[in-house]
Amino acid sequence: MNTHKKLADLAKTIRSKNAGTDKITFDIIFREKDTYELVKRSRALTPESVCGILNVDASRLTDFVEYDPAYAIKFTILRERPSGSAGDGDIFGAQQYAPFLDMLVDISQ
């Protein structure tokens, strides 16, 4: 029996977007409370795991919230350079969520 599922198969929405010129925010939103609670219990998404998946230093993580009323896990990182500046490859911050799509979550809890 497979005890892991891709986060993309569990979440309703996985997205990233600018939060001002110097930050990118991520939202992982679930349709129902049970799935949200399952992912929370799995500890697949923690400040440490998010930094590892994004390959960023923990000092760049400014916020990490498990927001129960919306069945959402939200976090924000500091950009390496301001949005739209020379060398910025994602002006809107909208492509940064991709590493979370194939992330495996232990659903055996």
With CA atoms as reference, report the closest residue to 71 among 27, 26, 104. Answer: 27
Check residue 65 and give its pLDDT: 98
pLDDT digits (tens, 9 = 90+) for 5-16: 999 999 999 999
Q: Average pLDDT, whole number, for the chain? A: 94
For the chain, the first-to-last Cα distance in angstroms comes to 14
pLDDT in tens, 49-79: 999 999 999 999 999 999 999 999 999 999 9
Range of the domain at 12: 4-106
Domain count for the chain? 1
Whether this prediction's pTM lies above 0.85 is answered by yes
Q: What is the pLDDT of residues 16-33, one digit of tens each?
A: 999 989 999 999 999 999
Report CA-CA distances (Å) from 61 to 51, 52, 76, 108: 7, 11, 6, 29
